[in-house]
Amino acid sequence: MIASELKNIRELTLPELESYFNDIGEQKFRAKQAYEWLWQKHAHSFDDMSNLSKGLRTKLAKQFSFPALRIDTTQYSSDGTVKSRFKTFDNHLVEGVLIPTENRQTACVSSQIGCSLSCKFCATGYMIKKRNLNYDEIYDEVVMISQQAEKVNNKKLSNIVFMGMGEPLLNYNNVLKAIEKISSPEGLGMSPKRITVSTAGVAKMIKKLGDDGVRFKLALSLHAANDKKRNEIMPINETNNIKALIEALNYFYQKTKSEITLEYILFQNFNDSLADAEELVKVYRQVPADLVNIIEYNPIEAFRFAKPDEKTTDAFMRYLESKRVNVRLRHSRGKDIDAACGQLANKG
């Protein structure tokens, strides 16, 4: 059998692995050892499983594939941000970022290779979507960024944001399964409350998150508070308009009581006036959002907009605060290595 025809060993549950080990005459505890290597000890090949005999490792390699993600290149920003380009078993490239601050070590992870949504301000949106990442590949991203946090900063990973390449809710099953493994005691044991999934706004999948009772946080990339402007920069709004998203977010919150954030990138002379701020206030009041994140725009070659000056940004922020909106300005990190919000495009 060629490798691509073999079953991915990480698709087996522990009982399935135990059943296989029993069939080949191996003791049950050996299956548990192998399973720990797959998820807790972060093996990247069968050869890494040092407490299994060489004969058993050879047998596993003949029976199963182990398509682990690998680091292709790593770049270090002057502000401490670390961007990694990962290579998949079938030679696709995808990026993830470690964002360190004084109180947090955050992994920004990707869910797809490329993206199909074509948001005008996002470099990934100009790439062709090749495929979804499998849940074990997403898990590998988090593991390797976590290892970087410990190696570079001597600190444990504290948060995960699905804000890298791709639309997480269009890879729904893999994203949820990855989060299940990340938050499981047999995986990384991270609290779902430290995980945020960011969406460009797929209303029916936001409702499905509610039906599935997820415990992680949700962020909506809003970026314009009326349909005309949002259609212009985010084509997805034509089929998932602001009214539909407000309804979906209320449904999600009613079902989960999980935290919701609205994300809003400021673009000069497009969505940065006080009239735009007032429209944002109106949306905020219709959604059970905890926070509005105002994000600095990071220029990309293909998009005509620029970042507003400090005075305009301050006036926008002050207006929101005067209307009792819980608002925070998120400063971009890793701009010098194209690792900031909206810049991921496998440039290396």
Query: What is the per-residue pLDDT across 11-32, written as a single tens digit (0 to 9) for each?
Result: 999 999 999 999 999 999 999 9
Structural domains of the chain ordered from first start = 3-65 (1.10.150.530), 70-337 (3.20.20.70)
In angstroms, rounded to a whole number, what is the distance separating the alpha carbons of residues 235 and 117?
Answer: 7
Of 18, 95, 167, 296, catalytic: 95
- pLDDT at residue 3 in the model: 44
Q: Give CA–CA dist 98/15, Å, rounded.
A: 34
Whole-angstrom Cα distance, residue 246 to residue 71?
Answer: 39
For position 348, what pLDDT does the model report? 46
Does the pLDDT of residue 347 top 80, yes or no?
Answer: no
Q: Render pLDDT for 192-202 as a digit per residue (tens, 0 to 9).
A: 999 999 999 99
Confidence of residue 299 (pLDDT cuts 50, 70, 90): confident
Q: What are phi and psi of 300, to 5 degrees?
A: -125, 155
Question: What mean pLDDT do residues 81-85 have?
Answer: 94
> Does residue 246 register a pLDDT over 60?
yes
pTM (whole model) above 0.75? yes
Out of 108, 115, 122, 341, pick the active-site residue. 341
The dihedral through the CA atoms of 48, 50, 53, 56 has a sign that is negative
Residues 225/282, Cβ–Cβ less than 8 Å: yes
Give residue 291's pLDDT band: very low, low, confident or very high (50, 70, 90): very high
Triad 54, 4, 185: Cα angle to 5° = 65
Average pLDDT over residues 244-257: 98
Q: Please confirm, yes or no, whether 119 is among the known catalytic residues.
A: no
Average pLDDT, the chain: 92
What tokens were used for 39?
């998820």
The mean pLDDT of 240-250, rounded to a whole number, is: 98
Which residue bears the tokens 């994000």? 295
Q: Which of 179, 220, 212, 218 is nearest to 196 (CA)?
A: 218
CA distance to 130, 243, 280, per residue, from 265 (Å): 27, 20, 12
Q: Give the model's pLDDT for residue 1.
A: 33
* pLDDT at 121 > cutoff 90: no
The neighbour count for residue 69, using CB atoms within 10 Å, is: 23
pLDDT at 300: 76
Q: Look up tokens 């009792």; give the residue.
A: 324
> Can you give the pLDDT at residue 201?
97
- CB neighbours (10 Å) of residue 2? 6
- Give the span between the Cα atoms of 322 and 217, in whole angstroms: 26
Catalytic: 263?
no
The per-residue pLDDT for 248 is: 98
> Per-residue pLDDT for 341 more than 60?
no
DSSP H stretches of helix in 154-198: 172-183
